[in-house]
Amino acid sequence: MEVLKTVQAVRSFCKEHKNSGKTIGLVPTMGALHEGHISLVKKCKKENNITIVSIFINPEQFNNKNDFRNYPHDIERDLKILKEQNTDCVFVPPEEEIYPAPDYRMFNFGTLDKSMEGAFRPGHFNGVAKVVSRLFQIIEAQRAYFGEKDFQQLAIIKQMVKFINLPVEVRSCPTVRNSDGLAQSSRNALLNPQQRTHASLISKVLFEARDKKDLPVEELKNWVATRINENPFLEVEYFEIADIETLQPVRSWENGNGIIGCIAVKTGNVRLIDNVFFK
């Protein structure tokens, strides 16, 4: 496994393998790897000759400086995990390699970034688009892999690829969960034991909600928020039931496209997101 830190080095690595006819897949991460990331690596390895994992905590996507400072990181642990997965290359750039000059780009995602995460984390998705587009331009992979837990982010990245006309296929992978249903997340490492126990209620309520489509959409939204907020360790920031393509709120189960329920919940200073597909 090669560990590379510069744009020049990773481009040379990619060029060498492309010249020999090999396909390249990319798994962009911010480190603090868990089973969800490993599932992306495994899918990438299955579908490509060469797998590259990037680890970079992107300051541009944090609208809260404390959140950026507290984001979990353990590079030695991450490298050990990736070596066990027989990853071909890990790209671990310092900030000046990703942003050699200030990046003033502003992306227009229409309505995709106006609700849910976009409403509560202004500027977040613009920062995501900056770093992901930069990684795509550096590595020029044929495919890139993202988890469905961050469903709005996934939609934003797909839209960005269309806007910029980048030659990369964005592949989505199902959310990986712990045995009690909690979605795997790097932020789970920040939970104390008590918070971790109570956090499992989030997925439990979402799964129960799937069986309550006899309720009108607004009633079900209120039911989910009330059930979770009854737990003194949890506070719902938002729960939205939205069109799977536009991410705009739906008012009826008769919506023509698929429907997804997306939630953000705070426990202490830790913010967790999850989602469930209704149809």
| Positions marked catalytic | 37
Contact criterion met (CB below 8 Å) for 46 and 85: no
What tokens appear for 32 in the block? 């603090």
| Total residues found in the chain within this entry | 279
Q: What residue has token string 């310092």? A: 94
Nearest Cα neighbor of 206 from 239, 237, 234 is 239
Round to whole Å and give the CA distance between 33 and 18: 27
Amino acid identity of 11?
R
Contact criterion met (CB below 8 Å) for 130 and 164: no
